[in-house]
Structure 1
Amino acid sequence: MPLSADRKKQFRALGHNLNPIVTIGDKGLSDNVRAELNRALDDHELIKVKLAVGEREDRKELLEQLSALPGVELVQQVGKVALLFRANPKPNPKLSNLLR
């Protein structure tokens, strides 16, 4: 289910103080990057991802790939940083960026 505008606004406010957890380089979404991305989304639910890719078209394609991952919602993209959300049915209150 897509996020409502109000929910995205709340997530953008929470994401403002976050630092990028995952950096994706020129090689794109390798298996190791996917595994780290899934781990980070399971732990934190709301994460920033740095897209260290030079061309705007490559970043756009990478964002489409990220949005196609199961349950992942693109909340915001500013320059080379994207804010991603995936709900965890049993979040850890010590790790979740939504519960802290």
Structure 2
Amino acid sequence: MPAASASPSSGPVVLTSAQVRFLRGQAHDLKALLQVGGKGITDALVSEVGNALEQHELIKVKIAGEDREVRDAMIADLAQRSGAALVQRIGHTAVLYKPSREKRHIVLPRG
């Protein structure tokens, strides 16, 4: 599997299993920065997620909703629309990663 792309315009971020493990460890102590409410995935939310990812590269997002399939679909939609990789999903919380265009903070392991 190819490593995470440095160019944001080259499509979605693709991570190796080692990189996913590394990012899950990095995300462990993070608090959720954003919460998806009853309105679902709006353009404004996608923009906020994009801004948060540019600033932090690795974020947690809380997804409201009781139906697991609906939450999973919302998480997949949010990751796809923001161009981020879904690192992990636990219950109502998703961890998203996208390298910053301006200032990279997180150095991913190779392979």
> TM-score, normalised to structure 2's length?
0.77
1:32 Cα offset (Å): 1.9
Cα deviation per residue 1:7-52 (whole Å; 9 max; x = unaligned)? 1111000100000001001211112211211110110000000011
Q: For residues 71 and 25 of structure 1, what CA distance do their matches in structure 2 show?
A: 21
For residues 54-99 of structure 1, give each alpha carbon's deviation from its aligned partner in whole angstroms, at most 9, with x where no partner exists.
211210110220231253100000000000001113226xxx5x37
Q: Partners in 2 of 1:60 and 1:89 — Cα distance?
A: 27
Shift in Å, 1:2 = 1.4
The one of 31, 35, 47 aligned to 1:19: 31
Paired-residue identity, %: 32
Please name the residue that 1:86 is paired with. Answer: 98
1:45 maps to amino acid: E
Note the 1:2-81 alignment, pairs <5 A: 2-81=14-93
Show structure 1 runs of 4+ deviating over 4 A. none
Unaligned runs of 5+ in 1: none
After the TM superposition, which residues 89-100 of structure 1 pair with which residues of structure 2 at under 5 Å, given as runs? 89-91=101-103, 96=105, 98=106
RMSD after superposition: 1.6
Uncovered stretches (5+) of structure 2, i.e. residues with no partner: 1-12
- Corresponding letter in the other structure for 1:39: N
Aligned length: 95
